[in-house]
Amino acid sequence: MADDRSLTVIRAAVAEAAAGRAVTDETPLIQERILDSLSLLGLVARLEQELGVVVHDADILPDNFGSIRQIHTFVSTRSLRAS
């Protein structure tokens, strides 16, 4: 299922950025400084490359990238728009 794949890709990308810190789907990634500007750009690039999701500059907001759950919701709605 594509939904499972997207969640797997998102979790893996966040785990790399977290560098060993424990992260759940609800962990506030920006507030906890797990994602900084550089790691956020890397995450966006990975989403675009591995999931085919187009992320515009205006989309890079805390509401879309604040947690794994929020990223997954964003990717899911983007995928629906692209279909």
The Cα 64–Cα 43 span in angstroms is 12
**Are 15 and 60 contacting, i.e. CB atoms less than 8 angstroms apart?**
no
What is the pLDDT averaged over residues 16-45?
Answer: 95
Q: What is the pTM of this model?
A: 0.90
Average pLDDT, the chain: 91
Which has more confidence, 3 or 38? 38
Token couple for 31: 């507030």
pLDDT for 80 = 57
Structural domains in the chain plus CATH codes = 2-82 (1.10.1200.10)
Residue 1 has pLDDT above 50, yes or no: no
pLDDT tens-place string over residues 43-73: 999 999 999 999 999 999 999 999 999 999 9
